[in-house]
Amino acid sequence: MDQVFKALSDGTRREMIERLTRGPASVGELAQPLSMSLPAVMQHLQVLEASGLVRSEKAGRVRTCHLEPDGLRLAEEWLGGQRTGWEHRLDRLGGFLDSDEGNRS
């Protein structure tokens, strides 16, 4: 999971993930809106692949990238668990503060 969050910590990689949510794309298509060299784009893709968020396949001279939803699901489940825990804590705090105000009146 550390690799997933490391991969998502970079804005360029998040932009690539966002593009891939609309369907597979070639490396050239992913690189087009970015202001960086193709080797730099490839380095970002390597990080995404190593984290399990993206897979790519080469057909002839074209490398096509695909989103791997299971990698994102892992992060989503962890974040969901964290959110549930914090919501519970905040609900308890709200209840405590409400009861404390009632005790002061």
pLDDT of residue 101: 67
CATH number at residue 41: 1.10.10.10
Cα–Cα distances in angstroms (integers) from residue 77 to residues 55, 74, 84, in the given order = 21, 5, 11
* Residue-wise pLDDT tens digits, 19-61: 999 999 999 999 999 999 999 999 999 999 999 999 999 999 9
Q: How many domains does the chain have?
A: 1
pLDDT of residue 71: 86
User: 78 is written with which tokens?
Assistant: 């962890």
Supply the DSSP symbol for 37: -
Sign, CA dihedral 51-52-53-55, equals positive
* Residue-wise pLDDT tens digits, 77-92: 988 988 888 888 888 8
pTM of the shown model:
0.76
Range of the domain at 10: 1-103
